[in-house]
Structure 1
Amino acid sequence: MTFPGQAAPAFVRLAAHPVRWRLLSELATSDHRVRELVRSLGEPQNLVSYHLRLLRDGGLVTARRSSFDGRDSYYHLDLERCADALAATGAALHPALRLAPPAPAGRPRVVFACTGNSARSPIAEALLRHHTGGHAEVTSGGSHPKEHLHPGAVRALRERYGIDVAGQRPRGLDGLTGRRFDYVITLCDKVREVCPEFPGRPRLAHWSIPDPATEKGGYRAFARAAAEIDTRVRQLLPVLASTTEQEVRP
C-alpha cells in the first residue's frame, strides 16, 4: 500500500518521460540502432542518446555491438526486467493489482531468419513450436543455408528443452519468399540487411543475437544463445496471443 509522500517507484519515474516511453515502445517490438530510433521518434540524436543512457543506467535497456557493422550497436529492451518492475509498481499501489495473461487467439504464421539456418533460427523455430503446442505455423530459413544443423544447437535443444531436431535440415529463405507470414523475425544482424520481402505486409522484428558458432565457449555459447532465444520466444507469446483472428488472417 502507498502512503502520503511516498515516492513513485523507479520504473514509473523512468518510463513516465514522453521520450523514454516512446523509446521503450519502439524497443518493445524489436532491437534497433540509434539512427533508427532517431528517425522513428523525430528527435535529435543527442536527446535520444541521453535518454537511452538513462534507460541503460536504470537496467531496462542493454546494448550490443552489431555483428554486421561493429561501429553500430543494437539496443534491446529487457522485457523480463520491465515485467518485474511493473509487477512491483502495481504492488506498491495496491496488492489487488495483478497482471492477467491474455487469452490465446488465432494461429499466427511466423518465420525466423538468420544466415546459415543452422543454429539461431532453427532454435527459435523449435522453441516457438514447443511453447505454442503446435498452435502456430512456424518455419525458419537462412540467406546462405548450411548443409546441416550445428551439433551445438541440436544438443542445446535436446538437453535443455527435450526437443529433438536431429533430422531437420537447413532451409533457404529464397524458397520461402512466396509464402505469406504474419511475423518475420531476424536473429542475425547480417541477414537483417538482406532479408527478402514477403507478401502481405508482415510485422517485422529484429533480435540481435550473436552467432554461437563464432563465440568462445563451445557448447556453452549455444546453451547461452538458446536461453536468450527462449526468453524472447516466451515474451513473443503474449504478442501472438493478443492478436485477433481477424488481424492474423485478414
Structure 2
Amino acid sequence: MSSQAAPAFVRLAAHPLRWRLLTELAAGDYRVRELVTLVGEPQNLVSYHLRLLRDGGLVTTNRSSFDGRDSYYHLDLDRCADALADTGSALHPALRREPATPRTPPVDLRGAPGPGVLFVCTGNSARSPIAEALLRHHTDGQVVVASAGSRPRPHLHANAVRVVHEQFSLDLTGQRPRHWDTLTGRRFDYVISLCDKAREVCPDFPDHPRRVHWSIPDPATTGETDEASYPAFQRTAADIDTRVRHLLPVLTAIRS
C-alpha cells in the first residue's frame, strides 16, 4: 500500500468549508464579512480557512481602495487548474494533463442572442475600457459589451490605449469615457465592477443582472508619470485578460 500523502490541493479543497469558500470565490472577489454571510459561519472560522487557502497559493488578497481596513479575496483559477492537473498525475500517469496556455475556452454564441456585459469603474478611463475591449476581442463581437464609470474622466488614459495596442493589437483611440447614467435603461446579464469604490455606488439596472466584483487596483495611481505607471498597466491588463478568459465559459452557459 502506498504511503504517499494526498496532494496539497486535495487536502485543502476536501474540507467542506474551504470548498464552499472556493466555490463562492470562483464567482468573484469578496470581503471576509461577505463570505461570512454567504457561508453562514463565524468570522474567525472563515478567516482561519481563508488563511490556509492563501498559504496554499489558491487565494490572494488585495487591500480595498474604498476602505483600507478591508481586503478582497480572489481565487486564482489558473493556479487551481494547475493544481488539479498535478493531482491527476499524482494518482496515475494516465491522468497527466498539460495545462493549455493560454486557457481560452471556445465560445460559440452563434444562433442565440448575445449576452450583455457591462464593466464599470470610477473614471471609465483604464480598467473598464480595457475589460470591454478584451471581452469583445475574445468573443469576436458575439457578446454585447459596454463600459462606463461613476465619475468619467475626459479621455482614456494614454497607458490604457498603449497597453491594449502593444499586448493585444487593439485600438482604443476613438473611445471616450461615459457615465453609467447613460446606460441605465439598457439590459445586461452581468454588471462587473473592477473598482472597489464604484462597486459601492453602482446603480441597479433593469431585469436584475448578476453583479460580480473584480477588485483591481487603479494602475494610474502607481507612478508620477505615464512612463512610471506603465508596468502597472501591463500587470493590470494581464490580470483583466485572465479574468475575461475565465468569464467566457460562464457567458456560454447562460445562452446554452
Bin for the TM-score computed over the shorter chain: over 0.9
Instruction: Give how far 1:182 is off.
Output: 0.5
Instruction: Give how far 1:90 is off.
Output: 2.2
What is aligned with 1:87? Answer: 85
Instruction: Give how far 1:102 is off.
Output: 6.5
Unaligned runs of 5+ in 2: none
What is aligned with 1:248? Answer: none
What is aligned with 2:140? Answer: 133
What is aligned with 2:28? Answer: 30
1:201-224 Cα offsets, whole Å, 9 max, x none, are 211110000111111332111111
1:163-188 Cα offsets, whole Å, 9 max, x none, are 00100011110011111101110000
What is aligned with 1:232? Answer: 243
Q: Residues 118 and 153 of structure 1 are in contact (CA less than 8 Å); yes or no, is this contact kept in structure 2?
A: yes
Range with greater deviation from structure 2 (223-232 or 111-120):
223-232
Q: Residues 102 and 242 of structure 1 are in contact (CA less than 8 Å); yes or no, is this contact kept in structure 2?
A: no
What is aligned with 1:6? Answer: 4
Instruction: Give how far 1:87 is off.
Output: 1.6
Give the TM-score normalised by the residue count of structure 2: 0.90
Change (3 A) 1:103 1:170: closer
Unaligned runs of 5+ in 1: 246-250
Q: Residues 151 and 179 of structure 2 are in contact (CA less than 8 Å); yes or no, is this contact kept in structure 1?
A: yes
Instruction: Give how far 1:104 is off.
Output: 3.3
Instruction: Give how far 1:97 is off.
Output: 7.0
2:156 maps to 1:143: no
Q: Give RMSD over aligned pairs.
A: 1.7
SS in 2 for 1:240: helix
Q: Residues 122 and 149 of structure 2 are in contact (CA less than 8 Å); yes or no, is this contact kept in structure 1?
A: yes
Instruction: Give how far 1:144 is off.
Output: 0.7
What is aligned with 1:124? Answer: 131
What is aligned with 2:48? Answer: 50
Q: Size of the alignment, in residue pairs?
A: 243
Instruction: Give how far 1:103 is off.
Output: 6.2
What is aligned with 2:108? Answer: 104
What is aligned with 1:192? Answer: 199
Identity %: 70
Q: Residues 142 and 170 of structure 1 are in contact (CA less than 8 Å); yes or no, is this contact kept in structure 2?
A: yes
Match of 2:161 among 154, 157, 160: 154
2:252 maps to 1:241: yes
Q: Residues 194 and 216 of structure 2 are in contact (CA less than 8 Å); yes or no, is this contact kept in structure 1?
A: yes
2:219 maps to 1:212: yes
Whole-Å Cα distance in 2 between the matches of residues 132 and 242 of structure 1?
14
Instruction: Give how far 1:75 is off.
Output: 0.5
Give the TM-score normalised by the residue count of structure 1: 0.92
